């Protein structure tokens, strides 16, 4: 099955700095890579996603890059703000089925004011 | 729309007991899934459904059963609870659509059920 590894497990950044989270996956058939944000005690929510036919995608302060050859993808948050503090999960589709996801273990991001 | 709802919010079971976690969605989504979330392990897919009457196993299906008799409901049954099933359980529903960025499948999660098995 799919195996998604996520690093780092914790990340502390100064407000205004950038945060980068990296993930690798094992299934070469995976073609959909979403990122979810989970605030303490809340449910996960989609923040950005990318398909395997695209190398990079941006949405305001958030960007995701994908290297399908190397089987890794990354989340970049620029100009971090205190409300960016949360747990972030990467995920990869299990095979080509984008409704089935395998998640990374999560990264706890803390933005210091 | 209420979105995805789950009941109960909290539950304590004794080893060997059985119970059903309820999940409902009012968005007419075709896909529904159950995940469990354990510290340091992210979310793991237990079972999923691609439509009423169709279910299949995910990554960690042992000890759980599901059924999907309607589009709206997707209950998860624990047959004989074990301490290893202590976890937070999330139900999710989704549908696939095409936007300017290509095909997407956004999973909408319920609020979760915190289950403790003693």
**Interval B45-77: pLDDT, tens:** 999 999 999 999 999 999 999 999 999 999 999
The four Cα atoms A6, A72, A49, B93 give a dihedral, to 10 degrees, of -60
Q: Which residue has the tokens 């979310």?
A: B43
Sign of the C-alpha dihedral, residues A76, A8, B94, B31?
A: positive
Q: Are strands B64-66 and B76-78 parallel, antiparallel or unpaired?
A: antiparallel
The four Cα atoms A70, A6, B95, A66 give a dihedral, to 10 degrees, of -30
> Residue A109: beta bridge partners?
A11, A86
pLDDT band at B106 (very low <50, low <70, confident <90, very high): confident
CB A80 within 8 A of CB A111: yes
Tens digit of each residue's pLDDT (9 = 90 or more) over B1-60: 789 999 999 999 999 999 999 999 999 999 999 999 998 888 999 999 999 999 999 999
Q: Is B40 left (phi over 0), alpha (psi -120 to 50) or beta?
A: left
Considering only CB atoms, A89 lies closest to which of B31, B42, B58, namely: B42
CA B26 to chain centre: 15
Q: Are A49 and B104 inside 8 Å of each other by CB?
A: yes
Residue A34 near chain B (CB below 8 Å): yes
Task: Report the pLDDT value the prediction gives residue A1, as an integer from 0 to 100.
Answer: 58
Q: How many Cβ atoms sit within 10 Å of the Cβ of residue B41?
A: 14
The encoded tokens of residue A27 equal 């299934």
Considering only CB atoms, B42 lies closest to which of A42, A57, A104, namely: A104
The encoded tokens of residue B28 equal 């007419």
> Residue A100: beta bridge partners?
none
Q: Which residue has the tokens 């990340």?
A: A11
Q: Which residues of chain B are at the A interface, by a Cβ-Cβ cutoff of 8 Å?
A: 31, 33, 35, 40-45, 48, 50, 58-59, 90, 94, 96, 101-107, 109-112
- B42 contacts in chain A (CB < 8 Å): 4, 6, 89, 103-106
Low-confidence ranges of chain A (pLDDT < 70): 1-2
């Amino acid at each position: 099955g799919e195996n998604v590894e996520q690093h780092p497990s914790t990340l502390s950044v100064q407000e205004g700095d950038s945060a980068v989270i990296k993930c690798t996956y094992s299934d070469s058939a995976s073609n959909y890579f979403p990122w979810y944000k989970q605030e303490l005690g809340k449910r996960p929510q989609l923040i950005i996603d990318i398909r395997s036919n695209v190398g990079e995608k941006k949405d305001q302060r958030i960007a995701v890059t994908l290297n399908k050859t190397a089987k890794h993808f990354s989340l970049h948050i620029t100009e971090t703000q205190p409300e960016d503090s949360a747990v972030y999960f990467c995920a990869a589709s299990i095979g080509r089925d984008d409704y089935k996801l395998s998640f990374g273990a999560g990264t706890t991001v803390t933005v210091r004011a | 729309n209420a979105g995805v709802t789950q009941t109960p919010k909290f539950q304590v079971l004794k080893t060997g007991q059985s119970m059903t976690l309820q999940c409902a969605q009012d968005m007419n989504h075709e896909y529904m899934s159950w995940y469990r979330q354990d510290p340091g392990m992210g979310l793991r897919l237990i079972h999923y459904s691609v439509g009423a009457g169709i279910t299949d196993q995910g990554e960690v299906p042992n000890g759980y059963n599901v059924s999907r008799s309607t589009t709206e409901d997707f209950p998860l049954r624990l047959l004989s609870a074990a301490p290893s099933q202590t976890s937070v359980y999330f139900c999710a529903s989704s549908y696939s659509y095409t936007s300017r960025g290509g095909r997407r499948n956004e999973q909408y999660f319920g609020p979760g059920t915190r289950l403790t098995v003693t």
